[in-house]
Amino acid sequence: MTFQTKLPSPPSAPRRPVTIEQLGRVRTDPYSWMKDENWQQVLRDPAALKPDIRTHLEAENAYTKAVLKDTEELQETLFQEMAGRLSPVEESVPVPHGPWLYGIRYQEGGQHPLHIRRPREGGKEEILLDVDALARQHPYYSLAGAAHTENHRYYIYAEDVQGSEVYQIQIKDLETGRLCAPAIETTTGSFTISPDGNWIFWIYRDEFGRPSRIYRRPLLGGDDHLVFEETDPGFFLSIGLSNSKQWIVIERGDHDTNESLLISARTPEAKPVSAAPLVRGERYSLTHWNDRFIILTNKDGAIDFKLMQTPDAATGRENWSEFLPDEEGHFLLGVCAGKDYLGWIERFEGNENLYIISTRQAPPLSGENSPSLRNQAQKVSFKEPAYTLSLLGILEYDQPILRYVYQSPTTPAHWYDLNMQTGERTLRKVREIPSGHDPAHYVTERLFAQADDGTIVPITILKRKDTPQDGSAPLMLYGYGSYGISMEAAFSTSILSLVDRGWIYAIAHIRGGSEKGWNWFLDGRKEKKINSFTDFIACAHHLVKEHYSRTGNIVAHGGSAGGLLMGAVANMAPELFAGIAAQVPFVDVLNTMSDTTLPLTPPEWPEWGNPLTDPKAYDVIASYSPYDNIRPVPYPAILAMGGLSDPRVTYWEPAKWIARLRDIARNGPFLCRINMEAGHGGSSGRFERLRETALVQAFALWCVKRASHPN
């Protein structure tokens, strides 16, 4: 890789200062004009973007391309390496249902899969949906999900053709191969089919991009019937069908509180009934198991959650009884049920364990005390220091087969079917790496950094065995730390391109996630959000102290709320990093959390605080919002990437941030790249999205080499 002797000049964004007065506080935003006032229309039709904004974004893209011109050959090399680790022809492990086995299959070179089925007893494959053929009709194409009716005749799928996450739902007749009903427009992409096949329940996305109503429509077309309307703009909606096929379940809530409403699948036209009325600060979810519901809840201060049970005919809280008591450090993640067995997955000491019991071991609904289920249960766990165990569920309610996936940073995904009756475990698939992969060449480690307040923060490491631990290796440090989402120790084919070049890859499991339980999440949000940032910085210092890398040889990487993390650590500790890659970065926090027209603002006040009504929340956000805290000191090179039709982190956040960095900070360079044909997830297609990954890695390599060979 060569370097240009002089970088081109960046775009000069005009400053049009707007003064904002709020709760007695005043701030100035010089780049608010980058937000198109018709942004909702732009989400649905990117061509509607105002010409001056489009001109600026295109200039930013051209500048980024010019600065990174010397990496273009490297980007292509990285892309080919990553593509070479994907099987050109790949098929999922099929899911049985009745006489059929359903799955997906990629054809050679395919960006999108074929949805297929085969007779269970052997026979010819049927193609249900050719997603590549559909995608060729649009610049962007993504499916939210697909499902078949219980009688196997109709196939239903939700498609997004501009990246704005506004989906339309299509119904296909598998006997004729044609669409057989009018498309359902303006949906979130979430839907459920009643077991009798007569009705489709779907969620409407309103003009603010929020899931505000649930409708029921005859499957083959007809009038929409309002099932439920959400009046709280801060609540999300979801809908699903229990594995027993006996209940349609609606869930409403935010990050702190939720409520479940039930419709008997035998009477899908009935009104939904609350299983247990909403209690602020209490979360619960229902899993139907024969004559009862198993309830995953934080009721009564169960910080890492517990399991309770209630008769399915009497779901009020007064009927709930203990099933699996809460136990500190055992963070319950999910439950699945079949006729004769129940499984749950929990995180303990950073890794997941799976437990299975039979109906004979279940405590009675009377609520009488019983021996510890955790001690009685069949347990599935693994010995690696860091790994991920994903529970896919019990495949058929009346059969004893449970499926899960095991992987680690060194071990590709393994799909297993466990016969819960016999204990026999069947390996169904190992993720193939066509270009080759030997786990013995790599090492996974779990380290622990000490944060400023003494808290111990886990770090997962992936490196080659022959990479020296003397501080000379460049290092990519990844972080997220929001919404209680855990960054799992999973296998990544793309990160191997850096690791095989002598890099060390590290994941900082910072507060705001849930890697150490739900308290880990609570200690990294609202007034405690600063912990996420200081944890990440502490992890970087620890890696330097332990000679995994050195100051100025680290590239930080994060996206979305992890992009907020990138912006915050850039302001707080810019000297640590050679570069920072922020994908769809949530960096304009104060303005976004003050704009009630944006899709996620009211739903996310529990996470960040409400700066419109709460002076303390305003001050906390103002203290760390990356856009508002840039300092006039040297910063590392920064790459901010966004999507024009992104409804979650809007395109103007990275564009405004980069413009303001150029105004205040020194050094850089500060680069902005906006995908003009995609949204939050970037490009669609399993190969095409790798080009964005290759760009991030080429930028990282460029930053480290540039730092060691300054002009």
Catalytic residue numbers?
A: 560, 646, 680
Give strand pairing partners of 106.
Answer: 90
Q: How many other CB atoms are found less than 10 A from the CB of residue 455?
A: 17
Residue with tokens 């391109």: 497
Give the Cα separation of 440 and 464 in Å (integer): 9
Of the candidates 15, 25, 16, 210, the one whose C-alpha atom is nearest the C-alpha of residue 625 is 25
Give the Cα separation of 675 and 475 in Å (integer): 27
Of the candidates 117, 112, 188, the one whose C-alpha atom is nearest the C-alpha of residue 148 is 117
Give the Cα separation of 7 and 64 in Å (integer): 10
Give the Cα separation of 647 and 167 in Å (integer): 13
Give the Cα separation of 265 and 242 in Å (integer): 9
Q: Which secondary structure element, helix H or strand E, spans residue 376, and what is its range?
A: helix 373-376
DSSP symbols for 496-545: HHHHTTT-EEEEE--BTB-TT-HHHHHTTSGGGTHHHHHHHHHHHHHHHH
Q: Are 542 and 548 in contact, with CB atoms under 8 Å apart? A: no
Q: Are 640 and 582 in contact, with CB atoms under 8 Å apart? A: yes
The residues, ordered by sequence, that sit 6+ positions from 53 with a Cβ below 8 Å of its Cβ are 33, 34, 36
Give the Cα separation of 512 and 484 in Å (integer): 6
What size, in residues, is the chain?
711
The residues, ordered by sequence, that sit 6+ positions from 346 with a Cβ below 8 Å of its Cβ are 330, 331, 332, 333, 352, 353, 355
Of the candidates 465, 695, 470, 415, the one whose C-alpha atom is nearest the C-alpha of residue 579 is 695
Strand segments (E) across 254-373: 258-264, 273-274, 284-289, 292-297, 306-311, 321-324, 331-337, 341-348, 351-358
Give strand pairing partners of 449.
Answer: 457
Token duo for residue 191: 């839907």
Helix (H, G, I), strand (E, B) or coil at 483: coil
Question: What DSSP state is assigned to residue 551?
Answer: T
Cβ-based burial of 223 (10 A; exposed 0-12, middle 13-18, buried ≥19) = exposed
Helix (H, G, I), strand (E, B) or coil at 136: coil
Give the Cα separation of 659 and 268 in Å (integer): 53
Q: Which secondary structure element, helix H or strand E, spans residue 401, and what is its range?
A: strand 401-407
Residue with tokens 């008591």: 325
Please, where are the H alpha helices in 26-89? 39-44, 51-67, 72-84
Token duo for residue 690: 């790798």
Q: How do beta strands 142-148 and 154-160 pair?
A: antiparallel
Q: Which secondary structure element, helix H or strand E, spans residue 133, and what is its range?
A: helix 131-135
Give strand pairing partners of 642.
Answer: 674
Q: Are 331 and 320 in contact, with CB atoms under 8 Å apart? A: no
